[in-house]
Amino acid sequence: MKAEIISIGSEILRGQIVDTNANFIAQKLTELSIDLNYISAVGDNQKMLLSLFKKAFNRSDLIITTGGLGPTEDDITYQIIARALNLKLIKYPEAEENLKKFLNKIKIKVSLSNLKQVYLPEGAKIIINQYGTAPAMILEKDNKIICSFPGVPHEMKNLIEENLIPYLKEKFPPSMIKKSKTLKITGLGESSVNELIRNYINKQTNFSFGIYANPEGRLA
């Protein structure tokens, strides 16, 4: 299974924030031995996001997006996903109930802009966000899995830990998941290690590897 992460938000491209979300998700996918082939960042631009999502849908089996689920005009993730997949946006009553409950708790009046967040692509498995107002989702379409989570890091992390990880473990049991090994090597540089293993690696076709220099020394 080939996975892809799309981080959405112009603030990422402007360097105003560091995209820690993609790093967190990549670590979780690695723990599940799911191959992550692409990480992309895109601004709040309909044309660019639509183009990127279509590419991701064509080349990946699991697409995870973060960001763009809020109440403002530049929060367009669900609209673009629905458009790309020819799906309708429909109101999810449970999302509306959670939104009103959350805003009432912090004494904020519900506006029309807020209610934008309760419309998700039809067929989505909604994930109620008890940490905020924007619901997440898991959507299965044409043997692909699309998952969308809020861009707020603590919301995203909690929702992924509590919902996506159990879903993926059930969907792809251990017998279907690839294994990975990490070898730690000291006293040799990258080029020396490469010379030692090159002939062996070239004969293999069913795995990938990488050599990374760091203070510990690691071959993964």
Say what percent of the chain tops pLDDT 90.
77
- The encoded tokens of residue 47 equal 């044309």
Stretch 121-138: mean pLDDT: 97
Q: What is the average pLDDT score of the chain?
A: 91
Per-residue pLDDT of 133-175, as tens digits, reads 999 999 999 999 999 999 999 999 999 999 999 999 999 876 5
List beta partners, residue 212: 218
Task: Please check whether residue 176 is in contact with residue 153, taking contact to mean a CB–CB distance below 8 angstroms.
Answer: no
pLDDT of residue 204: 61
Could you identify the residue written with the tokens 């990127």? 52
Q: Taking 80 as the threshold, does the pLDDT of residue 193 lie above it? A: no
What architecture is domain 2-176?
3-Layer(aba) Sandwich (3.40)
Taking the C-alpha atoms of residue 166 and residue 177, their distance in angstroms, rounded to an integer, is 14
List beta partners, residue 2: 35
Q: Where are the domains of the chain?
A: 2-176, 190-219
pLDDT of residue 69: 97
Taking the C-alpha atoms of residue 137 and residue 192, their distance in angstroms, rounded to an integer, is 47
Q: What is the SS3 assignment for 124?
A: coil
Say what percent of the chain tops pLDDT 70.
89
pLDDT of residue 195: 77
Q: How far is CA 54 from the centre of its chain?
A: 15
Torsion of CA 188, 200, 179, 7, to 10 degrees: 70
pLDDT of residue 173: 77
Taking the C-alpha atoms of residue 13 and residue 44, their distance in angstroms, rounded to an integer, is 10
DSSP codes of every residue in 125-168: EEE--TTSS--EEEEEETTEEEEEE-SSHHHHHHHIIIIIHHHH
